[in-house]
Amino acid sequence: MSLKRLHRKLRSTEFEGNEFDPISAFEAQDVPQQSLVIPKERFTEPQENYAHKIKEVYARNSKLGQALKTLNNYQLQAVFSEDRKVLLSAMVGSGKTTVLTHKILYLHFIKAIPLSEMVVLTFTNKAAREIRERILSFYEESEGIQSEDLRYFGTFHSVARQLIKEHPQLSELGFTPSFSIMDKEAKEEFLLRLIHTHELDVKYHNKLDQRLKLYRNEKQILYANMKNEDDLPQLLEISRKEKQANNLMDFDDLISIVNWLLKQECSLEAKWVIVDEFQDCNPEQVQLLNYLSVKDSSFFAVGDPNQSIYAWRGSTEQIFESYITDTSCRMMRLPLNYRSSGQLLSAAACLLNDERNDLQATRTAGNKLRLVNHFDDNQEAFYYASQFKSLHSSGTAWEQIAILFRTRQQINLFESIFSKEDIPFEVISKSSLKDYPALFWLKKVLLAGLQANDMDSILSVFTSSDFGCLKNGKALLNAYNKFSNEKTFNSKLEAFTEFLKFKYPKETTHIKLANSLLDFQDQLLKTSRQFDLYGYLNLDEVLKPISVHYTENVCQVKQAIQELDLYIQKQSFGNNIEAYQAAMGQVSLEGHFQINTGIKKSQEGVRLLTIHAAKGLEFDHVFLSGANTGLIPLNRKKAGPNHLQEEKRLLFVALTRAKNNMEIAWHSQSSAWNAEEGPSYFLNAIPSTLIDRIENTKPEITIKKFEDPQESNDSPWKKGMKIRHPKYGEGTVISSTDKEILCEFGKFGEKSFAPQWATLKKL
């Protein structure tokens, strides 16, 4: 397809359909349909040599001055800018985190802005921690720094939590500063319990979060194929009252509540508001920035419209528009890419509009982009196994090899084959504490002790399939509700403890645990920061010593408690209860117990991850799997009008993860239900001079190389036997072993089957 035909195809398909996908519908009305282009005349270009300014900084702080010497003029312009409002358009691989960190250091050490008077907002805990660690590295050990100095450095949600806790009008909303945060799983449990307890008629339980967002923002009750309204509004009202009564908030509440509070009174007079990944902001987050940027505050944001790939979260590349029209906002740019080699960067840049292509390579040309045609994903996986072994034997670390996928489902086959071929790998995805039963249960135990009215945590503790003693369900809830209504109790935890003693007196271990949780807060007030939590809760017995996973569970729980102890020791304010509440709030925000040293150290192995998960990462060798049309761009029937442009930006993000080598694979016969024949038509925008095309479509070559089939005399499937397959029709057996049957199916080529699962019929 020619470039002109490609453009015509994009124009003709870009606005097909008027319905938005429910995930993308948040604040979707009146979205401009054209990509935003920042006029080049709006950018302020570096006008001077900054050597004299670096010299001045060096005289006052030699470490910072030395660091600034490594920056280019575009980066130095942003760091030294005296403008009160700056929007920095940072191209991919241009060192945006370096600039943002040095801006903070310059403001603090040279302009004498206290860190406690800066608000630094990121979208990931990893980015927030990286910024904090870089700042701390500029302090001498003797100087030290207090944890409260950096309490406004973090993700939008963590900073919102801090602002809510400190706001003087919080009580007007029915909350106290000791509120707990429900993660996604806890919110689901909470809503389902309310539906059952109040006998509500609510459809689509697995889409409750989406439905509630649609109702809050657009008053939409009908969803999908619904013809009649259900009890969704009642659920929202009941959940609001229940949250207030139990001092609970979910992630969405954090942003909406802090916005309401700041609208009444801006309790924080921040001198600087600094934002990373500005293009990922949704309307509510922009509203938060506006509430913080008042009076004498200055604003500095870094973002890249070319990497706006989170429309399903509510973000849009149009986020830059209001700042472009604001003449008081200084527009700057970082055009120099330090990551990718020249030819790979040129190929990626072809996916951008000419007006948006501001990338400038700083490295040599390097290798071309490789486009490889595989027969199917099975052959592709075996091909990678061979390639990766070769790369590793020649000195490439496993961690410098990554395979990117458009969807999470594509990864499963590669996990199976890599395990078989002894290729070490790690699937990079946001794991949940539910993946670690002992840690998930420990979190619920501590939340129940800290929030005596958190009924969902209480139920989770005692109905856990691994560590509980009761079976959850309507029968238990009804029995508990009947018991608790007959008497007056100080808390739900007290009511449940008495219920447990009355109804299940033989469950002595869990009754002892319930009593310990009931006295937990009093015990914390009696002790110092050093507290034997493991012994106090008698966890040795509750974790079931006879379990085959006992040793592993004990190890995980003790490590988690060590992390909590370390975090609590760092807290220089508040009593022991407040310190534990802060620690558990951080666990909820980060989704794991490693709240001091960050995400656990990655294991050795090839990285398998989606393109979305790869954003912000880089590797020496990058392989994009299954890039057929239908997967890239992803075929979505109800996508919004800007869907194709975002899909193209997503491919751009994939290509720019590679430093030296990039390979894109497509399949002649894809197993993905939505994949079409042929490679992504987006690739037609890349000139053939930048691409090496490779054919690898003969399955027998790969299979024989890795399986080395030997004919088995005992096999019922003999060479030359005529067979029929329900999908591929008539064929011929080529070879068979106890591990596989290899068959030829004419136009479908050769197919391999496991003997125990083969749906073959002899003719």
Known binding site for ATP: residues?
90-97
Quick check: bond before 114 cis, omega within 30? no
HSE at residue 201, side-chain half, CA atoms within 13 A, is 6
Contact residues for 434 (Cβ-Cβ < 8 A; gap 6+):
185, 440
The number of CA neighbours under 13 Å toward the Cβ of 658 is 28
Helices 643-655/342-349 angle, 10° precision: 180
Q: DSSP letters of 421-478?
A: TT--EEE-----GGGSHHHHHHHHHHHHHH-TT-HHHHHHHHH-TTT-SS--SHHHHH
Amino acid symbol at 254: L
Pairing type for strands 729-736 and 722-725 reads antiparallel
Strands 741-744 and 750-753: antiparallel
* 679: Cα separation from own chain's centroid: 28
* Per-residue tokens: 583: 């620690």
Q: Residue 289: in which H helix or E strand, if any?
A: helix 283-292
CA separation for the pair 563, 583 (Å, rounded): 9
Measuring CA to CA, how many Å separate 502 from each of 490, 497, 499, 516? Answer: 17, 9, 5, 17
Distance CA 381, CA 414 (A): 6
Report the SS3 class of residue 3.
helix
State the SS3 of 484-533. Answer: HHHCCCCCHHHHHHHHHHHHCCCCHHHHHHHHHHHCHHHHHHHCCCCCCH
H or E stretch at 136:
helix 125-136
Q: What's the first-to-final CA gap in the chain, in angstroms? A: 44
Phi, psi of 63 (to 5 degrees): -65, -45
Cβ(464)–Cβ(542) under 8 Å? no
Q: How far apart are CA 465 and CA 181, in angstroms?
A: 23
Residue 706: which residues within 8 A CB-CB, separation 6 or more? 382, 385, 386, 421
Q: How far apart are CA 45 and CA 628, in angstroms?
A: 41
**Helix, strand, coil fractions of the chain, as percent rounded to 5:** 50, 15, 35
Calpha distance 341→155 (Å, rounded): 32
Q: Which residues are annotated as a binding site?
A: 90-97
Q: Which of 310, 279, 190 is nearest to 243 (CA)?
A: 190
Sheet architecture: strand order including 729-736: 750-753, 741-744, 729-736, 722-725, 761-762
Which H helix or E strand runs over 214? helix 208-218
CA distance 32 to 316: 10
